[in-house]
Amino acid sequence: MAGQGGIDEERRSSTVARLLLDASDQDLVDFVELVATPAFVIDAVADGFVFRASNSLHEQATGMDRATMMGRRMDMPLMADISAQVVPNYRICMTSRQIQTYDECLTMPNGVRWWRTTLIPVPSPDGSIRRIFGSALDITPLHDLEERARRLSADQDALQARLTRTLRTAVDALATAVETRDPYTAGHQHQVSELSVAIAVALGIDQETREMIRLGALLHDVGKLGIPTSLLVKPGRLIDEELALIRAHARIGADMTGNLDLPQTVRLIISSHHERLDGSGYPCGLAGCDIPLPVRIVMVADVVDAMLTDRPYRRHLTLSAVEAELARNDGRCYDQDIAAVALAVVRGDMPGFTLPDSWMLQRIPRAMA
Ligand SMILES: [Fe+2]
């Protein structure tokens, strides 16, 4: 196994062994003093470990007096608590005969600190391990930074979740506000949203885009808040000026939500759900691939739900009539593949994809009539 600085582990261990194994106590002290990080040497004895040497950096870092520690067992009162943590690692180093590097949190006389410790076994000529050289880095600042980053990330996740809940609640309230102004389209945006998401699921569209489609469909007619209610519920045919005013809801919706930080897909669904593939729609006359897939889906869900609903000027259509109407369109206005999926979903012919019971109960009995 490769060690630090490109020296393999076996060579590191044998180098340390050559330097440390037969060193006098003073040589040990001199050696560890040369190390640029807190360093120490411990020896295995019959029933534990004793401290043999440490450098001044170790003394400063741990707050433990070297003179007190030298030659003392690890279970002395000063070290008893720490010993319970570190001795198992010493034993692993001895039995594995491998260099061990690990992070540990120790309560020292100078406070709680995090250490990244490396233990190097020092093999005796007979192959046994009776001495370990250790060095440690105080990683408390790094650990604190990581901990703060983890907390910050958790806080951000919680904030994002709260913002998402707030956005969903606000969108739902806006959708309901639009629907309560017009009894003929009560529930329309919620139903278009549910059908759009069911189509998106059936088409294998990813979760993030589906959420944009759900929100956009819930808000697609939000511009109707700017249209007089008397016009929305007016029976009979509308004169051109009235029709133009109603059609303005797409642009009004885009203006109303323009200052909200809504995703681009949601804004496009609001502004473009009355566009048509052949360019005959409004407000911009977009055509073909200038109309993105999420908008195409809501376009189809919108007309399917509208045809299945009573309006001031006509009764709802049956599902067969809706199917005939979409077939007659033959891809000029609506995406035929999406229309086919929408009809299959509404009919319950898409295995694994079903609309919510609320949608089916409200639409199917009337559609079948
Ligand atoms: Fe609309």
357 has a pLDDT exceeding 80 = no
C-alpha to C-alpha distance for 320 and 323, rounded to whole angstroms: 5
Quick: pLDDT tens for 8-23.
767 776 777 777 777 8
Q: What is the average pLDDT across 71-77?
A: 75
Q: How far is the CA of 101 from the centre of ligand 1 (A)?
A: 64
Catalytic entry in 131, 220, 224, 316: 224
CB 195, CB 355: distance < 8 Å: yes
Top mean-pLDDT range of 63-77, 235-249, 264-278, 342-356: 264-278
Q: How far is the CA of 250 from the centre of ligand 1 (A)?
A: 6
54 has a pLDDT exceeding 70 = yes
C-alpha to C-alpha distance for 202 and 342, rounded to whole angstroms: 9
Those residues whose C-beta lies under 8 Å from the C-beta of residue 294, and which sit 6 or more positions away, are 200, 205, 209, 212, 213, 216, 265, 268, 269
321 has a pLDDT exceeding 70 = yes
| Maximal C-alpha separation, the chain | 108
Q: How far is the CA of 249 from the centre of ligand 1 (A)?
A: 7
C-alpha to C-alpha distance for 70 and 51, rounded to whole angstroms: 5
Q: How far is the CA of 345 from the centre of ligand 1 (A)?
A: 22
Whether 224 sits among the annotated catalytic residues: the reply is yes
Backbone phi and psi for residue 16, each to the nearest 5 degrees, phi listed first? -60, -40
Instruction: Calculate what percentage of the chain has a pLDDT beyond 70.
Output: 92
In the prediction, which pLDDT does 288 show?
93
CB 297, CB 213: distance < 8 Å: yes
Q: How far is the CA of 353 from the centre of ligand 1 (A)?
A: 25
Quick: pLDDT tens for 218-264.
999 999 999 998 888 888 888 999 999 999 999 999 999 988 888 99
Q: How far is the CA of 221 from the centre of ligand 1 (A)?
A: 5
Which residue segments constitute the domains of the chain, with CATH numbers given? Answer: 4-139 (3.30.450.20), 161-368 (1.10.3210.10)
Q: How far is the CA of 268 from the centre of ligand 1 (A)?
A: 12
Strand partners, 2: 8
Residues in the chain: 369
Peptide bond into 183 cis (omega under 30): no
Q: What is the pTM of this model?
A: 0.64
- Angle of helix 207-219 versus helix 140-180 axis, rounded to 10: 40
